[in-house]
Amino acid sequence: MTAPLIDPFQRAISYLRVSVTDRCDFRCVYCMSENMTFLPKKELLTLEELDRMCSTFIRLGVEKLRITGGEPLVRKGIMTFFQSMTRHLESGALSELTLTTNGSQLERFADDLFAAGVRRVNISLDTLDEQKFAEITRWGRLPQVIRGIDAAQRAGLRVKINTVALKGFNEDELFTLVEWCKSRDMDLTFIEVMPMGDIGNEDRLGQYWKLNDLRAELARHYTLTELSERSGGPARYVRLEETGQKIGFITPLTHNFCESCNRVRLTCTGELYMCLGQEDMADLRAPLRNNPASDAPLEDSIRAAISRKPKGHDFDYSRQTVDGRVTRHMSHTGG
């Protein structure tokens, strides 16, 4: 049972993204509808079940664990889960424990996260304009996030900013965001908006800003050098020679990044999605809960799921329709 997880295309699965809650204290317009219906508590994996689930994946070869949400730090008691995962870092079985957050709770938790072994965090931030920030997050407040970034850097956490590229919204802040990240020694990754979930009246096609166009705009002001490095995720990186900083591009639409995909996503209810852009999933909660004394059925279910991992997704805006769209919200799968 210790053989590594290999999918049908000979990709070793070494990266697990875990959504620990579907709840969030923001309502970002490209991620959630304003009036979300959240899952009943009994459907969520308990913190103890999350520990057992993640520990099983680590035993099967997962080396990188990224905690997501919703907003992971709004989950009650979540720091006990981070602290329990520390043992896998100390044993060497886990090479990295990290999280993606909106930054709202980092002022409270940054020191505790560092103490648990977290060394870097991704913070979602789409604008530096306080009014625009309130508009796009609906409920968020920019000063709270900035204080969270301050706290993270004081605690010793390496911060990367994730910015969703949104046409007509943050196009005019491209260079402002780049220079601000440079001034704070933070990496920056731009992400194309993805067609996931019903978000009410928001126009996916109207939001879509091709990163090829964004990159061309950057190249008019900076010298871009391609970097071969990978962080374990889907980003491709360049270095801006004039500033020395690293800029990432996550392009699920203009460039399908699936050929090297080494990751799967576990929801807070124990559903395993083998691909962010496909609906196929495996229920791991049942074998977990139905077999409290043995992990063997859970391991069998994980292996069966990995054997169904597809070659890639099929997001496509090119025909002026949101082809390849999946029905679940991004917050459900954890990004």
Give the list of residues 6+ apart from residue 55 with CB closer than 8 angstroms, or none: 88
- Residue 100 in marked binding region: yes
- Residue 91 in marked binding region: no
Work out the number of other CB atoms within 10 angstroms of the CB of residue 233: 18
First to last CA, the chain: 29
- Residue 59 in marked binding region: no
- Residue 263 in marked binding region: yes
CA–CA distance from 202 to each of 28, 126, 135, 205, 208 (Å)? 11, 16, 12, 9, 11
List, edge to edge, every strand of the sheet that includes 158-165: 224-227, 236-240, 246-250, 187-192, 158-165, 120-124, 96-101, 64-68, 15-19, 263-266, 271-273, 281-283
- Residue 268 in marked binding region: no
CB 163 within 8 A of CB 211: no
CA distance 19 to 276: 13
Q: Which helix (H) or strand (E) is 181 found in, with range?
A: helix 174-183
- Residue 222 in marked binding region: no
> Residue 293 corresponds to which amino acid?
A
- Residue 31 in marked binding region: yes
- Residue 265 in marked binding region: yes
- Residue 61 in marked binding region: no
CA distance 135 to 57: 39
- Residue 70 in marked binding region: yes
Give the list of residues 6+ apart from residue 47 with CB closer than 8 angstroms, or none: 77, 78, 80, 81, 84
- Residue 64 in marked binding region: no
CB 302 within 8 A of CB 284: yes
- Residue 328 in marked binding region: no
Coil, strand or helix at 161: strand
- Residue 17 in marked binding region: yes
Binding-site positions for S-adenosyl-L-methionine: 30, 70, 124, 194
Binding-site positions for [4Fe-4S] cluster: 24, 28, 31, 258, 261, 275
Binding-site positions for GTP: 17, 66, 100, 160, 263-265
Binding-site positions: 17, 24, 28, 30-31, 66, 70, 100, 124, 160, 194, 258, 261, 263-265, 275
